[in-house]
Structure formats: structure tokens, C-alpha cells
Structure 1
Amino acid sequence: MNDEAPDQLGTPTPEELREQVERAHDGLARTVGPPASEGDLAAQAKEKAAVVREQAAAVREQAAGKAAAASDRLREKTERAARAVEDRTPEAVREKTAQAAAQVREKTEQARRYAADRTPEPLREKTDRALTAARANRAPLLAGGALLVVLLLIRRSRGRNR
């Protein structure tokens, strides 16, 4: 075997290898750039967090606007429907309805008084405490109830789509 054969086949010399490594190193340095210091990374993270906070605030504002618009539309439709029903309901039916409502209110008041008179004192105290707690935590209770209604409506609509 001849030592000159590999050189003739294109094997690079050590000097050529050094030049190739330097060119590759320079290309990588331009592509990657200088290494970032820890301070730079912290500043970049803070900038990204600020951008995410701004985007989240914008989404919250947009959602609040859409919710308010949907609520207004629902209120208007409900009022129109109530007026339409009232306009189409005969006067005799309205009078009977008013009488029935008055009777229901009266019977409800009688039942309330009867229950208050017959309920033992310890049970009334516990009921009062529960009512006070519910009134104090009205917002979370209403939010939980609204969430429950939304979940039930979603489940119901998915059942129809199947």
C-alpha cells in the first residue's frame, strides 16, 4: 500500500481541516450569536411575561364586552317576548292570573308563619346561620350556580348533536 494514495483520493491535509473547522465555527457564531448572559435571559422572560399579561388583559376586556352585549341582547329578547305574551293574553286570563298569584302569595305567607311557629329554636338558629353565610358568600355561590347552568346547557346541547 502506498501512503500517497489517500492524498490523491482527496483526503484533506491538517491545514485544510483547520480552515474547515474555522469556517464552520465562524458560520455557527454568526447563526447562533453570542451566548446570552443570565441577566439577558431574565430580562427576556420579564418582557415575555409583560406581553402575555397585556394579551390576557385584552382577552378579558374582549370577553367582558361580548358577555355584556350578549346579556343586553338576551334582556331585550326577553322583554319583547314578555310584551308579546302580555299583548296576546286576554284580559280575563290576566285577571285570573293576578287572583291566583295573590292567593299563592297569601298561602305562602301563611305557610311561612306556620313553619316559623312550629320550628324548634335550635333549627331556626342553624337556618339563620346558613342564610347569613349564604348572603356573605353570595358572589361565589352565584358564580358556582352559573357555572353549573352553563355545564348543564353544554351537556344538553352535546346530547342533541349526537
Structure 2
Amino acid sequence: MSTEPRTPIGTPTPDALGRSAEALAAVTDIKAQAKEKAAAVKEEAVERTSLAADRIRVQTRHAAQRVKDTTPDPVLQQAGRAATAVRANRTPLLVVGAALVVLLLVRRGGGRR
């Protein structure tokens, strides 16, 4: 039995019919349902991506620490000096790298003719 107000002859009042129509419209509003589903999927994707990025950061730190722990000190010192030299001479290294890329592209293109 329904708890909706009824007219003296037993039919639902217009207000009850209006609520029923609104409920039916809400169920059949596919566009709104699709937007809600898309928002939920996007939120889940963002959360999963964040978790994956956190896991990758942790694993990268562990791997870097393992490499540092197992690499002999003289090699670490030499790598540190090389990194410092590269930072100090970025422009010449970039020019040399760009020239090398151009040379390789020219040689590759010349062999096809």
C-alpha cells in the first residue's frame, strides 16, 4: 500500500504524480547518468595514477640506493666529477649533440637515394 496522499476517490494527488514523474525523468536521464559515470571513472583513474606514481617513486629511490650501495667509491666520485663537468659545459655539449644528430640524419637520408 502507498503512503501517498489520495483524493477522496482513491486516485493519487497531482503532487504525488509530479514526484513520480520527476523520479521517472531522473531514471531516464541518460545524459546525466553518463556524466556521473564519467566523473566517477575519471576520479578513479586519477587515484590509481597517483598510487602508481607513488609506487614508482618508492621503487626508484630503492633502486638508486641499491646502486649507490653496491658501486665502489672511486666510481661514484668519478661519476660526480663527470656530472659536474657536464653541468658546467651544457651549451657546448648540446651543440655537439645536435651536430651529431644532424650528421646521422644526413647520412641516413643520403643512403636511400
The interval holding the TM-score normalised by the smaller chain is: 0.5 to 0.7
The 1-side partners of 2:34 and 2:90 are apart by 54
| Pairing 1:96–2:84 present | no
2:82 is aligned with what amino acid? A
The 2-side partners of 1:103 and 1:50 are apart by 59
Q: Of 70, 74, 84, which aligns to 2:66?
A: 84
| Pairing 1:106–2:88 present | yes
Q: Of 29, 41, 45, which aligns to 1:63?
A: 45
1:51 is aligned with what amino acid? Q
Compare the two structures and name the one with the higher helix fraction: 1
Q: 1:103 offset after TM fit, Å?
A: 1.9
- In the TM superposition, what whole-angstrom CA distance separates every residue of 1:104-155 from its partner, at most 9, and x where no partner exists? 223325x38xx8xxxxxxxxxxxxxxxxxxxxxxxxxxxxxxxxxxxxxxxx
- Mapping of residues 6-155 of structure 1, within 5 Å: 43=25, 47-108=29-90, 111=92
Structure 2 residues without counterparts, runs of 5 or longer: 1-24, 96-113
Determine which structure has greater relative contact order: mean sequence separation of CA pairs < 8 Å that are 6+ residues apart, divided by chain length: 2
1:103 is aligned with what amino acid? A
Scaled by the length of structure 2, what TM-score is found? 0.54
- Equivalenced residue count is 71
Identity of aligned residues (%): 36
1:70 is aligned with what amino acid? A
- In the TM superposition, what whole-angstrom CA distance separates every residue of 1:49-68 from its partner, at most 9, and x where no partner exists? 11111111111111111111
Q: Secondary structure at the match of 2:29?
A: helix
Higher alpha-carbon Rg: 1
1:81 is aligned with what amino acid? A
Q: 1:46 offset after TM fit, Å?
A: 7.0
RMSD: 2.5
Scaled by the length of structure 1, what TM-score is found? 0.39
Task: Give the aligned partner of residue 145 of structure 1.
Answer: none
The runs of at least 4 aligned residues of structure 1 exceeding 6 Å deviation read: none
Structure 1 residues without counterparts, runs of 5 or longer: 1-42, 116-162
